[in-house]
Amino acid sequence: MSKSRKIEKKRFSNQVPKVSPLMALGMLVLPFLVTGCDHGAQSAMVSNLKQPHKGDVDMDESVPSTGYVTIRPDQMNEIHLTTEVVQQHKMIKEVCLTGQVEPDANITTPVISLVPGRIEKCFVQLGDVVKEGQKLAFIRSDDIAQIEAELLKNVLDFEADIDQARFQLALTEKIYGRHKQLFSEGISARADLDSAENEYQKAQVALETLKDKREALITTARERLRLYGVEKDELDRVLAKKKIDDDFYMLSPRDGIITERNADVGQLIDNAHNIFVVTDLKQVWLTAQAFEKDIHYIKKGQRVAVTVNSYPDKVFPGKVDYTGVMLDTDSRTMPVRATVQNPQIILKPEMFANMRVEIGETQALSIPFESVRKTGEATVAYVVLGNNRFEERKIEVGRRLGGSVEILKGLRPGETVVAHGSLQLQGQMLKQLSE
């Protein structure tokens, strides 16, 4: 080891305690996560507005570097080390909130039975995907049977009257035809012909009137059954079979997912309770609470980016569609709601989620996210000094945007930091300290 290396190592040994190889390995694999909206164990109703610095980031000269590391040229080739220049980038100014996913009430439809009955069969389970018009349950109802029985009786009565009217029409038509023949031969008087024609026309009107009344009766019954949720073809089957059907299928009113089921076979139902709830979860609401100090930043129509812990790499876009009109006097917060696109139905109701509300743009100093490492309680980056020598510098970071992270303190514009290879440098640093 060269004399300068020995002096350097001795100076490091005075600054940093001895670290065993096992401890070094543990420090190396400590988990590290930087996000704009993750504040650990803070309350679920967290608001954090980061204001990026303009110009040079504050550099505290009183804070020394945490150390230096030198690697051989062949090692640099092995780890394929890359570097990035610290510089200003455009970053989004955001208010970060934590909220809970809810179904969009505008595309959520309860399914109820408008008549009392009993569930005979149930065809869907909670969480099933359904299409509009799909059969959900098979219901038996005395009320439906009564409507159909009344209709069938009236229709049969009308059909008997219609048959009689047809017979009367045929008879008057025959008489009218005979009088026409006799009148043409000069045997019958004109008055007899006119009387026969009048009776024939009256028979025609009577038949058409009975037909119209029959159709009006059927239309009224069909509408009553439709309002009760009975399929439109059900009445046609009853009329064709001349047989009462006291059951019907409960159908899905829309495409969606069964998010509520209160149905069991044999259960008595009425029109006061939801039997099912069908929700389209391809679009959901996220409701959060904004602190009083952030309220003036948030407005309807602003874009939001939503993330959840279970899918940290996915971002769900949305827009603010509602801001509260009253403040909660206990928490001093106001509700903020966003409509969020969820095409793959990854977001589920009751999930907690982070919501970043975009309130503007600014310039901020940033470096690649892979440049940032965690060493104990400190966050560090490796600054290139030249001649294969690097400084481990303590830094403070802000928000993460894509593959970059905001630098609040510790680096100057124009400095060069290690990007790919920072993990290997950290390992080399820990190894050097343990020797």
| SS3 labels along the chain | CCHHHHHHHHHHHHHCCCCCHHHHHHHHCCCCCCCCCCCCCCCCCCCEECCCCCCCCECCCCCCCCEEEECCHHHHHHHCCCEEECEEEEEEEEEEEEEEEEECHHHEEEEECCCCEEEEEECCCCCCEECCCCEEEEEECHHHHHHHHHHHHHHHHHHHHHHHHHHHHHHHHHHHHHHHHHHHCCCCCHHHHHHHHHHHHHHHHHHHHHHHHHHHHHHHHHHHHHHCCCCCCHHHHHHHHCCCCCEEEEECCCCEEEEEECCCCCCEECCCCEEEEEECCCEEEEEEEEEHHHHHHCCCCCEEEEEECCEEEEEEEEEEEEECCCCECCCCEEEEEEEEECCCCCCCCCCEEEEEEEEEEEEEEEEEHHHCEEECCEEEEEEEEECCEEEEEECEEEEEECCEEEEEECCCCCCEEECCCHHHHHHHHHHHHHC
Query: Is 45's pLDDT higher than 50?
Result: no
Residue 30 is encoded by which pair of tokens? 């400590």
CATH 3.30.365.10 fits 1-104+280-435, yes or no: no
Query: Is 28's pLDDT higher than 90?
Result: no
The band of 367, judged by pLDDT with boundaries at 50, 70 and 90, is very high
Which range has the worst mean pLDDT, 10-24, 167-181, 331-345, 389-403? 10-24
Residue 152 has what pLDDT? 81
The band of 61, judged by pLDDT with boundaries at 50, 70 and 90, is very low
Query: Is 421's pLDDT higher than 90?
Result: no
Fold of the 108-134+251-278 domain: OB fold (Dihydrolipoamide Acetyltransferase, E2P) (2.40.50)
Query: Is 398's pLDDT higher than 70?
Result: yes
**CA 296, CA 91: separation in Å to the nearest integer?**
20
Which position has the token pair 């009113």?
253
Residue 319 has what pLDDT? 97
Domain-wise residue ranges, the chain:
1-104+280-435, 108-134+251-278, 142-245
Query: Is 35's pLDDT higher than 50?
Result: no
Higher pLDDT, 6 or 169: 169
Task: List the one residue out of 429, 381, 427, 428 whose CA is nearest residue 405.
Answer: 381
Note the pTM of the prediction, 2 decimals. 0.56
Residue 402 has what pLDDT? 67
pLDDT digits (tens, 9 = 90+) for 177-226: 988 888 888 887 888 888 889 999 999 999 999 999 888 888 887 777 77
**CA 130, CA 246: separation in Å to the nearest integer?**
25
**CA 76, CA 59: separation in Å to the nearest integer?**
29
Residue 225 has what pLDDT? 76
Query: Is 411's pLDDT higher than 90?
Result: yes
Higher pLDDT, 188 or 339: 339
Neighbours of 201 (CB within 10 A): 13
Q: State the maximum Cα–Cα separation within the chain, in Å, rounded to a whole number.
A: 150
Residue 346 has what pLDDT? 95
Same fold? 1-104+280-435, 108-134+251-278: no
Determine whether 10 is exposed, middle or buried from the number of CB atoms within 10 Å of its CB (0-12, 13-18, 19+). exposed
CB 353 within 8 A of CB 306: yes
Higher pLDDT, 146 or 274: 274
Percent of the chain with pLDDT over 70: 83
Residue 352 has what pLDDT? 96
The mean pLDDT of 342-362, rounded to a whole number, is: 92
Residue 12 has what pLDDT? 36
Highest mean pLDDT among 47-51, 310-314, 393-397: 393-397
Query: Is 400's pLDDT higher than 70?
Result: yes
Residue 56 has what pLDDT? 44
Number of alpha carbons in the 13 Å side-chain half-sphere of residue 227: 8
Residue 3 has what pLDDT? 40
CB 391 within 8 A of CB 40: no
The mean pLDDT of 250-264, rounded to a whole number, is: 93
Which range has the worst mean pLDDT, 14-18, 134-138, 164-168, 358-362? 14-18
Residue 98 is encoded by which pair of tokens? 């934590």
Cα angle 29, 35, 36; round to 5: 160
Determine whether 195 is exposed, middle or buried from the number of CB atoms within 10 Å of its CB (0-12, 13-18, 19+). middle
Residue 435 has what pLDDT? 67
Task: List the one residue out of 268, 264, 230, 272 whose CA is nearest residue 247.
Answer: 230
Query: Is 299's pLDDT higher than 80?
Result: yes
pLDDT digits (tens, 9 = 90+) for 118-140: 999 999 999 999 999 999 999 88
Higher pLDDT, 13 or 342: 342
Percent of the chain with pLDDT over 90: 44
Average pLDDT, the chain: 82
Neighbours of 327 (CB within 10 A): 15
Instruction: Give the relative orientation of helices 142-184 and 234-241 as an angle to the nearest 10 degrees.
Output: 60
Neighbours of 431 (CB within 10 A): 15
pLDDT digits (tens, 9 = 90+) for 146-175: 888 888 888 888 888 889 999 999 999 999
